[in-house]
A and B are shown apart, each in its own frame.
Chain A
Amino acid sequence: MTTAHAKTIFTSEPFIPSWAKVASIYAEMGNAWTLQFEVPEGQDVPTFQPGQFAMLYAFGIGEAAISHSGSAAPRESLRFTIRPTGATTCALTRLSVGDTVGIRGPFGRGWPLEQAQDRDLIIMAGGLGLAPIRPVLKNIQMARTSPRRTALIYGARQPEHILYRDEFDDWAASGVEVHQIVDRATGAWDGAVGLVTHLVPKVSLDFENMVAFLCGPEVMMRFSAIALEDAGLPAERIWLSMERNMKCAIGHCGHCQFGPAFVCKEGPVFRFDQIRTNLFCKEI
């Protein structure tokens, strides 16, 4: 069994991690690292849906749930952007090329891309929340998903913390209406400063026939969802990617319970109207 797992990236046994080697590490802006893992030759490329996550296991330390940030393209299908905030994520970001980690997944329910087909799509992301959104944007670039029009509103703390800064031009070139905004700025920044919600009225999309994908700090998502509702978008067409402390990743342990739902299994992407009550309930 051990030998077999060593040759397989993802196994059908959800609790048994497979192995993968770090192929590259890239230091992103704002204290985050993007790790690309090597897919062994001759193995099927694991498929995931944009918005799904994997459990990455730093040996001897622990597991952490990390959203897929790669595209469906084989060479970057196992790509994760990680911010060191705890023991496991710190260990993962200190890995070197050639080091091995355990991987389980993909898990959870991703973005409802079929809802965006032939509709306008507004994406609102904040901080590291752009990572689970990146596969959606890559899908649009590769014409795997074809919204009528797409707008991306991205908020960051300051210009120096903008994630994937080299990719915004490519997204714009593929037809995405890109808006960036930061909380504060010094120096040469000539873009917008303020809240992500301030850019909603500036988006030239059809709110009557639109869906929204939101990912970022929970407070940001709450205010963004309300701003979209106020602009005329029904709650049942607003989707949010939630984050909770996931352990088993298959809805058994209950660590990620969010009201009656398990984020790992029924999420992480939820429809706004289905979680609204709990989203505004304190300490859930």
Chain B
Amino acid sequence: MSGITDLLSVHPVLQGLAPAFLNHIAECAHQREIPAGTQILTEGDTASHFFLIRTGKVALQTSSPSTKVETFQTLGGSDFIGVSWLAPPYRLAFDAVAMTDVSAIMFDARCLRAKCENDHALGYALMQVFVPAIIERLKCARLKALDLYAVTNP
């Protein structure tokens, strides 16, 4: 477990989280090596896991019948994949695909949620980790909705 805890302690997403909390959440974590091209998360599935990316690049994607698969965000070594595990109905909204070989730490969401339920201090600390990132993603989505670089055809 100490190996995972060491990896967690140096990950940018978890900077500031107390060592005791790191030891606690490490019990829900596993190291994963994901080959390029792997579909890591699939839209509509239950959000049973989320990932901290250590190295590599991941594309968040969606598609519709009239368009090709569209990447709307790429994530890298200081990011995490998956927010749907945080709140009911725990349903994934988008696909995540490894653009390169990815080294990641995978968390069992049910395990982590149970720990948060039993230890609200841990739950609050994790919310302080994830909420700013979620706000940043919301800002990103709103700015994209403005289509700042739109090319007009008069």
Binding site for B on A (CB under 8 A): 30-31, 83-86, 90, 126-127, 155-157, 161, 183-187, 189-195, 198, 201, 216-217, 219-220, 223
Contacts and interface: CB of A to CB of B under 8 A. Distances in A.
A127 B149 CA distance: 6
Interface stretch (B17-25, B107-115, B124-132, B138-146): B138-146
B71 A189 contact: yes
A83 B151 CA distance: 8
29 contacts: A30-B151, A31-B152, A83-B152, A84-B154, A86-B154, A155-B149, A157-B147, A157-B149, A157-B150, A183-B144, A183-B147, A183-B149, A184-B71, A184-B72, A185-B70, A187-B68, A190-B99, A192-B76, A193-B59, A193-B71, A193-B74, A194-B73, A194-B74, A194-B140, A195-B139, A216-B149, A217-B149, A219-B148, A223-B143
A186 B151 CA distance: 17
Nearest to A84: B154
B7 interface: no
A234 to B, nearest CB: 23
Interface residues of B, number: 26
A187 B69 CA distance: 8
Nearest to A190: B99
Contacts of B154: 84-86, 90
Contacts of A217: 148-149
A40 to B, nearest CB: 32
Contacts of A85: 152, 154
Nearest to B77: A202
Contacts of A157: 147-151
A219 B143 contact: yes
B105 to A, nearest CB: 21
B151 A193 contact: no
Given A198-B140, A223-B143, A126 B149 contact: yes
A126 B148 contact: yes
B66 interface: no
A120 B67 CA distance: 42
B85 to A, nearest CB: 21
* Centre residue among B71, B139, B152 by max chain A CB count within 10 A: B71
A188 to B, nearest CB: 11
A192 B70 CA distance: 13
A126 B146 CA distance: 14
Nearest to B59: A193
B133 to A, nearest CB: 11
Nearest to B75: A194
Nearest to B143: A195
A195 B140 contact: yes
Contacts of A183: 72, 144, 147-149
A195 to B, nearest CB: 5
B149 A161 contact: yes
B153 interface: yes
B12 to A, nearest CB: 9
A87 to B, nearest CB: 8
Contacts of B148: 126-127, 157, 183, 216-217, 219-220
Interface string B49-80: 00000000101000000011111111010100
B76 to A, nearest CB: 8
Contact of A184 (B143, B144, B146, B153): B144
Contacts of B67: 186
